[in-house]
Amino acid sequence: MSWDTFLQQIADCQGIFDADERQVFCWRFAEQNWGELDAKIADDLHISEATLQRRMGRIYATFSHSCPALNTEKKGKFKRLRDWLKREYVRYQQHGEQLRNLETDSGAIATPLCQDRYIEPGILPTCYQEILKPGCLLRIKAPWKMGKTELMSRVLNDAADQGYRAVSLNLRDATATDFQDLNRFLQWFCTSVTLSLNQESLSDNPVAEHWQKSIGNSKNKCKTYFEKHLLPGDSCLVLGLDEVDRIFPYPDVAGEFLGMLRTRHEEAKTRPIWGKLRQVLVYTESLLC
């Protein structure tokens, strides 16, 4: 595997889906740019140095769980992350290892997902505890056929036993037309959640009606739809999204949608209504990260 391919795959693994941040990450850490100054990198990307530094700051924050050396106020974060990436690249090249990990909003936890699809009991209590936290964002990453869907199902079933509403969506149920643009995809997303909750009785087509009457862009409409129709009341909503990697071939939609989910998770810290949304994202990885 080439270094550039490694950077692309580890960007997927770490959840760097925003197109601008991904471009900065892959170009700044490209081997030919290791010795370049920020001014040259910013010029190459046609952005200001201040914009470059802001995006790099978000990249460092993303990697801080996997690379603890970034948890410092000292200078030199580029070198720390570059050296960490080089070590991980060597490990992957030498051993072809694959890290199966579970990521929560509070960090990364190794998941013992094995080839026989057995899930070690110790990981389940951790998942059950995390899903009870307001605004939880739980990401389950593992290679193909390693029991990811089974783990998600157990988490959702336990949440339902706790009195939460639980919805499981598989992005493979979306068609190519649904992925055509963000507006179409978010309407499919809201409709799918509504149907899964058996809330179609709200009106003949509550999503279409809301889209027509609401103002703002499609992300605004999706947000207000959840606030008005899916999150009011006392019961929390646990949303499980399986095969999230299905959206990756559509980078514009993927970046906006996954960024939106992350924003809702962050918003839970200040708005209680979003604390009632708990997210479980499941996708396939093929890389040590």
Higher pLDDT, 1 or 69: 69
Q: Which residues pair with 104 in a beta bridge?
A: 107
**Residue 106 binned pLDDT confidence (cut-offs 50, 70, 90):** very low
Tell me the pairing of strands 137-142 and 165-170: unpaired
Average pLDDT over every residue of 33-42: 95
The reported pLDDT for the residue numbered 94 is 61
Domain ranges of the chain: 3-95, 101-284
How far apart, in whole angstroms, are the C-alpha atoms of residue 4 and residue 2?
Answer: 5
**How is domain 101-284 classified at the architecture level of CATH?**
3-Layer(aba) Sandwich (3.40)
How many Å apart are CA 74 and CA 187, to the nearest integer?
45
Q: What integer is the mean pLDDT of 107-130? A: 54
Provide the token pair at 103: 């990521």
Single-letter residue type at 244? V
Query: What span, in angstroms and rounded, lies between the C-alpha atoms of 220 and 214?
Result: 9
The pLDDT value recorded for residue 201 is 54
Say which amino acid occupies 155. Answer: V
- What is the pLDDT confidence band of residue 36, given thresholds at 50, 70 and 90? very high
Measuring CA to CA, how many Å separate 136 from each of 103, 116, 265? 11, 28, 7
Check pLDDT > 90 for residue 25.
Answer: yes
The winner for highest mean pLDDT among 88-92, 147-151, 262-266 is 262-266
pLDDT at res. 203 = 54
| Angstrom distances, CA of residue 172 to CA of 54, 76, 103 | 34, 42, 22
Q: How many CA atoms lie within 13 A of 87 on its CB side?
A: 8
CA of 37: how far to CAs of 34, 41, 94, 143, 151, in Å? 9, 7, 31, 37, 45
User: Per-residue pLDDT tens for 184-237?
Assistant: 999 999 999 999 987 555 556 799 999 999 999 999 999 999 999 999 988 999
| Cβ neighbours of residue 98 closer than 8 Å, sequence gap 6 or more | 143, 285, 286, 287, 288
Q: Is 221 helix (H, G, I), strand (E, B) or coil?
A: helix
* Domain at 3-95: CATH code: 1.10.10
CA distance 181 to 22: 20
Half-sphere exposure of 145 (CA within 13 A, CB side): 2
